Chain A
Amino acid sequence: MTDPSSSCATGPGCITCGDVALPLTVVEVTGPDARCRTDDGREELVATELVGVVAAGDVLLVHAGVALEHLARRNGESP
């Protein structure tokens, strides 16, 4: 589980309440979820059902533990 004390309150506010979505890179796909990493090395499990097929290296826009959009694929192509 994502540690809420480190994720929800990251930065100056609650990223979920603030409608903040972050770009995360897929590290490993595990069924409907993907282990993803932020630029500062923090990892979380992200649900990917709303963005179709993902692969390691893809960049996803993530809000509240759910990917909302595919920002980039590993090979640099647009999704």
Chain B
Amino acid sequence: MTMRFVDEFRDPELAAVLGREITALCEPGRHYKVMEVCGGHTHTIYRYGVQDHLPDDIELVHGPGCPVCVIPMGRVDDGIAIAEQDGVILTCFGDMMRVPGGNGSFLDANARGADIRMVYSPLDALRIARDNPGRQVVFYAIGFETTAPSTALTVLRAKKEGVSNFSVFCNHVTIIPAIKAILDSPDLRLDAFIGPGHVSTVIGCRPYEFIPRQHGKPLVCGGFEPLDLLQSVYMIMRQLAEGRAEVENQYTRVVAYDGNPVALKVLAEVFSLRPYFEWRGLGSISSSALQLSERYAEYDAELRYDVPGLRVADPKACQCGEVLKGVLKPWECKVFGTACTPETPIGTCMVSSEGACAAYYNYGRYAKQRLHLEIAT
């Protein structure tokens, strides 16, 4: 089956050509660290062995852009507290079901009698609310600017239709403050960023311009196929070789430089910025998350329900924080692949297939094992 917008970006011969051109741009003796911000990129890198086409001198560092991975444990507990109230149906995206909180996961809560249902879209949650007028339906919203418009649109439809038994427990976060936190982190020296393609569909490329202007580092918005990522690295290496630092857009078939103005308007209408929000691994970051604006406060589940609102420390053995900041590689975590696996995740990075640990567990470790075998023989 031919997949439009897909097959032409998986050509192994073109990948080899790009790999050689990237190698030719490397300055001898220099080690390059390039962070892919988005978990979707991390998944592609491990699934298709993108790193195998790059010289050893270019290291891809995985960033915090997996929406499930950055949810702190306390917010999982808050969701369970809402779900355990009488008459509530909590709805959420698939991967969220398995994220461990301090009091178990949503799946554990269901086993104790809660009614937590997986949905594909917040619009499905609104439909459940329409179909169950005697119940309260809460949508547990997570995600970056890619997903926030779908929540905003759902709230607008709920208000227009007068659906009053629907509300949103909002955990939407924004990508720019997280990148700023990483740039300010003393742990990490990065040379450049691959910007998140689908987030950029909404916000465009302009919000990243502070990165070259203030920090002197290139950012290239990249697509999600293997050749997209290789071409993004090539564009970054060209900038570095030519002494430039700019925002460039590799994903032009999807991303407009100014984003989607209608989506941005809807976001501004329905949401306002929280003063601060806790990110797993990055700590509390000011103005980094969204809440329902006053105009839509009637749909804010945090105002409808009492939630514990507690900060819950991550398990001591889990090093998701360091993995999310790109300081540790997944396999360097003490519990990776032993106590923590996709079947029994301790940390969020092992839950979503876009989490660095799960992506490496499912794909990358086999390549590493092969390499070790080749070296041994």
Contact = CB atoms under 8 A, between A and B. Distances in A.
B93 A17 contact: yes
A52 B118 CA distance: 29
A19 B69 CA distance: 12
B94 A61 contact: no
A20 interface: yes
Interface string A5-36: 10111001110111111010000000000000
B121 A64 contact: yes
Nearest to B91: A4
Residue among A13, A16, A17 with the highest chain B CB neighbour number at 10 A: A17
Contact of A4 (B4, B118, B149): B118
A52 B122 CA distance: 20
Contacts of A17: 66-68, 93-96, 142-143, 352, 354
Interface of B: 1-5, 38-40, 43, 47, 65-68, 93-96, 117-124, 127, 142-144, 146-147, 149-150, 153, 196, 198-199, 201-202, 224, 253-254, 256, 260, 262-263, 266, 352-354, 358, 362
Given A19-B196, A20-B40, A65-B122, 11 more contacts: A4-B124, A8-B93, A14-B68, A14-B94, A17-B143, A17-B354, A18-B40, A64-B122, A64-B150, A65-B124, A65-B150
Contacts, number: 147
Nearest to A21: B198
4 A-B pairs with least C-beta separation? A65-B121, A13-B353, A14-B94, A17-B95
Given A68-B146, A71-B253, A13 B43 contact: yes
B254 A65 contact: no
Contacts of B120: 2-4, 7-8, 16, 44, 64-65
B147 A8 contact: no
A54 interface: no
Nearest to A7: B120
A43 interface: no
A5 B118 CA distance: 8
B165 to A, nearest CB: 17
Contact of A16 (B38, B93, B358): B93
15 contacts: A2-B121, A2-B124, A13-B43, A18-B66, A19-B198, A20-B40, A21-B198, A52-B262, A64-B143, A66-B121, A66-B123, A68-B198, A68-B260, A69-B254, A71-B254
Residue among B149, B199, B256 with the highest chain A CB neighbour number at 10 A: B149
B124 A13 contact: no
Residue among B94, B118, B143 with the highest chain A CB neighbour number at 10 A: B94
B94 A4 contact: yes
A69 B254 CA distance: 7
Contacts of A44: 120
A68 B4 contact: no
A2 to B, nearest CB: 5
A64 B150 CA distance: 7
Given A17-B68, A18-B354, A19-B198, A50 B94 contact: no
Contacts of A52: 262
Contacts of B144: 19
A19 B199 contact: yes
B153 A14 contact: no
A35 B277 CA distance: 37
